[in-house]
Structure 1
Amino acid sequence: MELYFLGTGAGMPARHRNVTSIVLNLLPERGTIWLFDCGEGTQHQILRSPVKLSKSEKMFITHLHGDHLFGLPGLLSSRSYQGGDTPFVIYGPKGLKAFVDTSLGLSQVHLDYELVVHEIEEDGVVFEDANFRVEAASLEHRIECFGYRIIEKDLPGKLQLDKLRELGVTAGPLYGRLKQGHTVLLEDGRELKGDQFVGPSIKGRIVTILGDTKPCSNSSLLAADADVLVHEATFGAERADLADAYDHSTTEQAALTAKEAGVKTLIMTHISSRYQGEGAEQLVQEARAHHADSWLAEDFWSYTVPRK
């Protein structure tokens, strides 16, 4: 599980930061990638990255401001040309389907895959299968905006091979049944219970990705005990007045949310173009004064989410 940042800027593209788009690389876990937001130029950023659009499975849109959305029609079209023929699902606020249908319809785009648009009507679970659950909750921004909590479900513990070998049980179909917790009967009459040969379950990871927001209670709820929190930090601490006026957050506010929620690692993104060089380093120091494990994302930067 890896986060890869295609765009980390705020408002409009800049030379050193494109607008928002994040990839959650789940190739080892499910053979696919998920995308979060799709600002203008996202498909161009993908061309400069190791990301394979044909491996994309889902897109989660936080809100319908252009710097999070305007790259979507081009990306959907390019996915067909780049070998994407599996179903693709987009999640986001009300109005997303009208935007997609209108832009693709007027430009007469033909897709070689099934496209599903799921508009979020209320806070709660928006996706769940045997391995992952994704929860969405509304944030405080100028328009309807969501944050997402991605929960990897716990994995079964490792089969304790040494114990089985000591009992003379060799590799074979019995190993699989024991790992699943079943009770098996050996040819010599011995009975082995699976739960006695499987180690403790492996704790799943939690990644929280928020859209644009000022500090609010749902940010903390979504981020509770997360391994990684991706939080906007459009402004430095000295511009708290601007952050409040435009429903954004400062570095300090992002760090305090991470601290209060018990987050392990904070990654700040959606950075105003006014912060470059020493100014960007100052943002990191402001956050680390409240939450030590804080980082400032840059375009084409990645972070591997460790297991606890």
Structure 2
Amino acid sequence: MSMRVTFLGTSGAIPTTQRAPSAVLVNREGERLLFDCGEGTQRQMMRYGTGFDISHIFVTHLHGDHILGLPGLVQSLDFNDRTDALAIHVPPRSREDIRDLVHAGGHQPGFPVRIHEVSPGSVAYAGDDFEVRTVQTDHRTRSMGFALVEDDRPGRFDREHAEELGVPVGPKFGRLHEGESVELDDGRVVHPEQVVGDSRPGRRLVYTGDTRPVDAVEDAAADANLLIHDATFADDEDARARQTGHSTAREAGRLAARAGVDRLALTHVSSRYAADWKRLEREAREVFDGDCFVASDGQTIDIPVPE
């Protein structure tokens, strides 16, 4: 079961020659989900070969560096004869603004574009075996993050014990693993709990967008496989981080440590660190001893199914 994360844009509000505005694409089992859509996102998708067959876009807030790529992307999808509907999930009271942006210049997409307002603390999208949940964040405007949370997986099937109980090799193994009791030829009934272990958690990915470090993100990121957190500033700009509704790399690291995440990706890097972005990584690593890195445009991360 594949899950690949591609960082399309990792800059702060001002892009640089190396970093485009915010955008992250998640390809889960062939379903492409786009989180934020800064200016030039469509070109980044071409450059890094993610494919354009996205089904859902999740917008954290309406600042330009997170949404100005929407009209160009929608028009390019239209030019490529898209017919499938596209869902855009946005914060409360922002539907009309996003609608106007999608229709910039009077463009009328030839495919359905459905804009859904979702509140923090709800489910934005329910897939077949996962959900994208909204998470309350703290920025200078209506904002929210997102948590992609897979359903729990069945526990391990104890084939040896099943055979000892007399279950014949074949379809009854599968039925037991799926939670169904089976009757044997001699009339005995074997129940799933006799041969299947405890359920195992699925994967969890959290993307904050722009935010101060907040309890809701920490709760959503508990034991997450990957946390993508605002790390706009280094320690020397702590006051500015508070003033502008962003986080420092150290603050992101502390939150990741408390949440017990496996990997921390620092993003939304201020242009002032264009030549010294490793500083952010060093400061976060002083308080978080897991896998920690400053994300770069074009970087891909595979999240394996946990053992």
Normalising by structure 1, report the TM-score: 0.88
Deviations 1:93-132 (A, max 9, x none): 13542233323444323233x3221112453333335522
Cα shift at 1:61:
0.4
1:135, distance to aligned residue in structure 2 (A): 2.4
Measured against aligned partners, the alpha-carbon deviations of 1:164-216 in whole angstroms (never above 9, x if no partner) come to 556472324x3332222222223454533333233432221221110211233
Aligned to 2:15: 13
> In 2 relative to 1, CA 197–260 (structure 1 residues): closer, same or farther, beyond 3 Å?
closer
Alignment deviations for residues 57-91 of structure 1 (CA, whole Å, 9 cap, x no partner): 21110000010000012212323444654332211
Which residue identity lines up with residue 111 of structure 1 in the other structure?
Answer: G
**1:50–1:83 distance in 2 versus 1, CA, 3 Å:** farther
In structure 2, what is the Cα distance between the partners aligned to 1:81 and 1:186? Answer: 59
CA distance in 1, matches of 2:65, 2:289: 29
Residues 187/228 of structure 1: CA separation in 2 closer, same or farther (3 Å cut): same
Match of 2:251 in 1: 253
Contact 1:267 1:297 in 2 (8 A): yes
Q: Provide the C-alpha distance between the structure 1 equivalents of 2:70 and 2:244, rounded to a whole number of angstroms.
A: 24
| Partner residue in 2 for 1:242 | 240
SS in structure 1 of the partner of residue 271 of structure 2:
coil
Q: Once the 2 structures are TM-superposed, how far is the Cα of residue 235 of structure 1 from its aligned partner?
A: 1.1
Q: Which amino acid aligns with 2:272?
A: R
Match of 2:184 in 1: 186
Where 1:5 maps in the other structure, the secondary structure is strand
CA distance in 2, matches of 1:220, 1:103: 32
Q: Which moved more, 1:41-50 or 1:262-271?
A: 262-271
Number of the residue aligned with 1:57: 55
1:274 is paired with a residue whose SS is helix
RMSD of Structure 2 on Structure 1 (CA)? 2.3
Measure, in 1, the Cα distance between the counterparts of 2:187 and 2:121.
Answer: 54
The one-letter code of the counterpart of 2:134 is A
Distance 1:196 1:283, change over 3 A: same
SS of residue in 2 equivalent to 1:53: coil
Q: How much does 1:249 deviate?
A: 1.2
Retained in 2: the 8 A contact 1:130–1:153?
no
Deviation string 1:111-157 (CA, Å, 9 cap, x unpaired) is: 33x32211124533333355222322332211111111221110113
Q: State TM-score, norm by structure 2.
A: 0.89
Amino acid at match of 1:195: E
| SS of the residue 1:255 aligns to | helix
Identity %: 33
Provide the residue aligned with 2:6 in structure 1: 4
Deviation at 1:230, TM superposition (A): 0.8
**1:211 aligned partner:** 209
Structure 1 residue 163, shift from structure 2 partner? 4.5
Alpha carbons 1:77, 1:111 under 8 Å: kept: no
Change (3 A) 1:122 1:271: closer
SS in 1 for 2:277: helix
Aligned residues: 301
Please give the alpha-carbon distance, in whole angstroms, between the structure 2 residues aligned to 1:104 and 1:304. Answer: 31
Instruction: Name stretches of at least 5 consecutive residues in structure 2 with no aligned partner.
Output: none
Q: Which amino acid aligns with 1:4?
A: T
